[in-house]
Structure 1
Amino acid sequence: MTIPRTGARAEPGSFRDPANRVFHLGDDVLRGLDERAAREWRALTATDFFPPLLAAGKVCATEPVDPAPATVGARWAAVLRHERIPFVSHPYEWSFAMLRDAALLHLEILRAALPAAFTLKDGSAYNVQWRGAEPVFIDVGSFTPARDGEPWAGYRQYCQTLLYPLLLGAHLGLDFRPWLRAQVDGIEPDQMRRLFGGARRLLPGVLTHVHLHGAMQRRNARASTADVRSQLRAAGYSRELALATVRGIEKLVRRLEHQPAASHWVDYQRTCAYTADDRAAKERFVAGALADGPRPRLVLDLGANDGRYARLAARHADYVVAVEQDPAVVDGLYRALRAEGQRRILPLVMDLADPSPGGGWRGVERASFADRARADAVLALAVVHHLAIGRNVPLPEVLDWLVGLTAPGARIVVEFVHPEDPMARRLLANKPEGLFPDYRRAEFERLLGARCGITRRLDLPSGTRTLYAAVAGG
């Protein structure tokens, strides 16, 4: 592959480890390594454990670039090229089962590395991404030689961004997503300690990883890292003990389970108002709109529910991101996709009226949903009325948002639910009369046509819903 010579852009979320930095250059994802990191990379590739992880897809595909392109800067001793993840997501957009699988992948990799005298510098949930329903570890720069007497440096990160959120869900039934969205470094032990007092201290994993962990942090608050390592070596802490600790955490994580409360949306395809004729016509329309033009690289299915149309879209596109607000629905969809070995549909939990903002350092360390979503096609099926009526978002702003999620010339497939539709009437019944005078088909069509070129329209047989296919900016 030829590397472009201009336009390298540093990844905003990769600045925390000065030994290596990730860059984007055209469609390539590159990682610059300093002298020490380059030596460790060469040692890593010579181990018996790392090549099998690459071959199994558990670690993102990585290869050296020689010669290194000057566009990433002269300071790097070596440059690697990684596979490009089709869509970068954040842990606060994952379901419980997704977070648990990400946590288990971390431990599996660490368990393989320790006997070969390697460890992971980090334990962050952000070091995992997804190929559809398959987790993949992306932070190759996190591998480093292990030394006897040194604890896993990533343990605190692992607890705060993976284990603690899982404990919240499994033991207390709490939604971990707001916690992770609010704090890029995850949940602090002191925050957890306040939630797990009294008899809750005895719940699996809590005493060791919340209370004892927090006590150790407080006791060593003024000690240097070197002092702590010296104390551990003197106490006989070894790589074998570290490996036993990892196995214990893995056993705990596998036992953690959370069943989200049932909701109306879990069985929506059976209970919704669509007739069989409506559903068949809708599927034909969506398939035709996606097949009309170049094959989309990325499709967003907004309000995806159980993934019916995401699966349809996957027949016509390289990759589909299925966004749904209900965690129980997304968890069920993820488990089904994982069982199928599906690698082209990524399910995410997100409130479309409150999509993920930018976060972390300067608000760009973790990119917002809008900044990540430059889709070639967007499906907005049975979602506009929920935003416009249910959440009081003006129709012009709904359409501006949809267009803003697309790449130039992208296709938009959108469904307008008429005011007389049973679902629209149900939503309107909870609102003051006359609050939405502009919520009419003619006005929606006018607004859509002002922003896009409408290429198709179809009234569903029931007569209260209309589908539109449009080209953004047309």
Structure 2
Amino acid sequence: MRQVPLAEITPHSSSYGDPNGRVFWWMEELYRGIMPDRVGFYSHLFDSGVIRQLVNQKFLIESEPVDLSLQGFGLIVKHPRLSFVSYPFEWCAPMLKEAALLVLDLEMALFEHGLGLQDCHPWNVLFEATKPLFVDFGSIVTANGNNLWESNGEFFRYFVYPLLAMASGQTRIARWLLHDYTCGISEVEADFLTRRRGSQVKERTRKVLRSFGKRYPGRLHFALRKGLRLLDRVFSGRAPRLHESRIVYLRRLRTMVESIVIPRVPTGWSNYYDSDFPQFHPSGDWQQKHSSVHKVITNLKPRTLIDIGANRGWHSLMAAHFGVNTIAADIDEECISQLFYDARERDLPVQPLVLDFTSPSPGLGISNNMLPSATQRLKSEMALALALVHHMVFKSNLTFDQITQGLSDFTTKYLLVEFIPKEDRYVKEWWTPAKSWYSLDEFQRSLRRHYSSVTLLESYPEPRVLLLCEKQ
């Protein structure tokens, strides 16, 4: 057994409170050390095939014991390194809903083996493209003997209440409250966000269940009536106590979460590319911009890419179609939600996120490092910034230096950015003498502060251009 030198490991910044183990980096690989008094328990889960079953069901991240030893731990487990780490306040509502359903499915699968989760908050879930995975291996424990679901309150604060607030049109506020990773959204806050008085979330949830029944007349009415009675127990703090009742309760809760409908709120940008969404292989429908971006991506073959200001994500989906692990970032919630469904339907490696380039998610926690910033977590080998710069200059009042610095923070090597000159019909409407510095020459000067090479490429329509930038 190989001994890992303690001086060579780097503790994971988010792994500090788990009584069962700690996550750490060693030689650019991710491991989990299991406390000596918990080795027997987790070894049995491996030996009995429970962990393999959960991994095969796509509930749990890949987890394998390895022949390593580290001072202070009795067992070392290796996990894969995911392409990107994102947090709940960056997910669109459909992603939060998918994460909630994953937690419930995992809890039900665990309970069949007499197990459960000691923590079920969304920071224990990461997305591999559009697929959620539970990553906190150490959260698996023996189920409480009285069969109460200990994590019920936590599940409501971090999943149910935020989803109900989003269903009431309060997506932006719900997202910001999810920054509070120690509390989530309380029942009182959920009441307020859903425009109810007093303890009214129960009634809203009952309506969700009733509306679900209306959409399926005559099929699930008996089960829904039982679910409504069970809901009264949930909100009064009386969870089911029998083994069968707990499974029934979790199934009812899953039905309720699944039936939460997040309303579509079309924006000025959500239909922007509806008439310009061709196939992802070169074709006669492609414009020069499509061809130029495709050529750059297929020639350079970046492993990871972030598309900043992705909108509906055609370029993100195209890059993913050619095997690039991609983040599609945009401030428009509706665009990101539609892109999530598109990427999931096509099974492409795209993770869409709600992210504002002018205010990317900062680091949180002690020393702002417990939850690292977006620029740390999402930095990619290549960044795309198409039809973005003119918006940042004329609508967000940023300078070229601010924009090029911000873009540089998201890429380790390449940037493909579009410049739209003042002769363009859209920029013409916005241009003022106060922005006389807005020119291609000035933009290139700013880019060269961060990149050793800047090459001009054709875009569409003229006189727009693309600039391919490379760091040393």
Q: TM-score, normalised by structure 1?
A: 0.85
Distance 1:239 1:402, change over 3 A: same
Residue 366 (structure 2) pairs with residue 365 (structure 1): no
The Cα of 1:389 is off from its aligned counterpart by 1.6
1:279-428 superposed matches below 5 A: 280-293=287-300, 295-342=301-348, 344-407=349-412, 410-428=413-431
Residue equivalent to 1:255: 259
Partner of 1:86: 83
Counterparts of 2:304 and 2:102, CA distance in 1: 26
- Percent identity between matched residues is 25
Partner AA of 2:272 in structure 1: Y
SS for the counterpart of 2:177 is helix
Q: How many residues align?
A: 442
**Deviation (angstroms), 1:333:** 0.9
- The 1:335/1:208 distance shift into structure 2, 3 A limit, reads farther
Opposite residue 453 of structure 1, the aligned amino acid is S
* Partner residue in 1 for 2:213: none
In 1, Cα distance between the equivalents of 2:201 and 2:31? 46
Letter in structure 2 aligned against 1:463: E
On the 8 A contact 2:187/2:201 being kept in 1, the answer is no
Further displaced range: 76-85 or 183-192: 183-192
AA matched with 1:311: L
**SS in structure 2 opposite 1:348?**
strand
CA distance in structure 2 between the partners assigned to 1:310 and 1:86 by the alignment: 15
Task: Note the alpha carbon deviations across 1:73-120, whole angstroms, 9 max, x for none.
Answer: x11111100111110000111111111111000000101111210000
- 8 Å contact kept, 2:85–2:378: no
Is 129-138 or 235-244 further displaced after alignment? 235-244
| Structure 1, unaligned runs of 5 or more | 217-231
Question: Could you tell me how far apart the structure 2 residues matched to 1:85 and 1:138 are?
Answer: 10
Amino acid at match of 1:197: R
**Contact 2:355/2:361, CA 8 A, preserved across alignment:** yes
- 1 CA distance for matches of 2:416 and 2:3? 36
User: How far is 1:202 from its partner?
Assistant: 1.4
Decide whether aligned partners of structure 1 residues 461 and 89 sit closer, same or farther in structure 2, where only a CA change above 3 A counts: closer
Check 1:380–1:236 CA distance in 2 against 1; reply closer, same or farther (3 A cut): closer
Deviation at 1:124, TM superposition (A): 0.6
Q: Is the 8 A contact 2:326 2:351 kept in 1?
A: yes
Q: Secondary structure at the match of 2:269?
A: helix
Inter-CA distance 318–461: structure 2 relative to 1 (3 Å threshold): closer
Aligned twin of 1:439: 438
> How far apart are 1:271 and its partner, in Å?
6.3
Q: Residues 194-252 of structure 1, C-alpha deviation per residue, up to 9 Å, x if partnerless?
A: 44326765112599999986775xxxxxxxxxxxxxxx8xx982333322221121010
Shift of 1:338: 1.4
Decide which moves more: 244-253 or 80-89. 244-253
Change (3 A) 1:8 1:390: same
Does 2:19 align with 1:12? no
Check the 8 A contact 1:121/1:152 in 2, yes or no.
no
Give the CA deviation at 1:336.
Answer: 1.6
Match of 1:226 in 2: none
Distance 1:434 1:38 in 2: 69
Distance in 2 (alpha carbons) for counterparts of 1:251 and 1:290: 42
Corresponding residue for residue 268 of structure 2:
264
Q: Residue 178 of structure 1 aligns to which amino acid in structure 2? A: W
| 8 A Cα contact 2:36 2:72, kept in partner | no
Over 3 Å counting, the alpha-carbon distance change for 1:380 and 1:325 in structure 2 is same
The answer on 1:40 being equivalent to 2:41 is yes
Name the structure 2 match of 1:220.
none
Cα RMSD between the aligned structures?
Answer: 2.9
**Unpaired segments ≥5 residues, structure 2:** 208-227
Question: Would the aligned equivalents of 1:189 and 1:214 in 2 still touch at CA under 8 Å?
Answer: no
Change (3 A) 1:16 1:212: farther
Q: Does 368-377 or 450-459 show the bigger shift? A: 450-459
CA 271–67 in structure 1, closer or farther in 2 if over 3 Å, else same: closer
Mark the CA change 1:33 to 1:200 in structure 2 (over 3 Å): closer, same or farther.
Answer: closer
Q: Which residue of 1 aligns with 2:25?
A: 24
Hey, what does 2:95 align to over in structure 1?
A: 98
Amino acid at match of 2:414: R
State whether residues 123 and 156 of structure 1, in contact with CA within 8 Å, keep that contact through their aligned partners in structure 2: no
Deviation digits for residues 339-367 of structure 1, max 9, x if unmatched? 2222x111111111111111234422211
Determine if the alignment matches structure 1 residue 448 to structure 2 residue 447. yes
2: CA distance, partners of 1:454 / 1:463: 23
- 1:41-96 deviation line (CA, Å, top 9, x unaligned): 1232244654222123321111001132x3xxx11111100111110000111111
**Distance in 2 (alpha carbons) for counterparts of 1:263 and 1:250:** 30
Q: Report the more deviating stretch, 21-30 or 96-105.
A: 21-30
Q: Which moved more, 1:147-156 or 1:198-207?
A: 198-207
The superposition leaves residues 302-333 of structure 1 with CA deviations (integer Å, 9 ceiling, x where unpaired) of 11111211122224554111111111111111
1:375 and 1:3 mapped to 2: Cα distance?
Answer: 33
Q: 1:181 to 1:388 in 2, by over 3 A?
A: farther
> One-letter code of the match for 1:327?
E
Separation of aligned partners in 2, 1:326 and 1:305: 7
The verdict on how the C-alpha distance between 1:208 and 1:124 changes in structure 2, with shifts beyond 3 A counting, is farther
**1:193 alignment partner in structure 2:** 191
* Residues 190 and 461 of structure 1: CA distance in aligned 2, closer, same or farther (over 3 Å): closer
Deviation of residue 150 (structure 1)? 4.8
Task: Tell me the equivalent position of 1:66.
Answer: 67
**Structure 1 residue corresponding to 2:175, chosen from 160, 174, 177:** 177
| Alignment correspondent of 1:465 | 464
CA distance in 1: counterparts of 2:121 and 2:240, whole angstroms: 27
| Kept in 2: contact 1:22–1:29 (CA 8 A) | yes
The Cα shift of 1:434 comes to 2.8
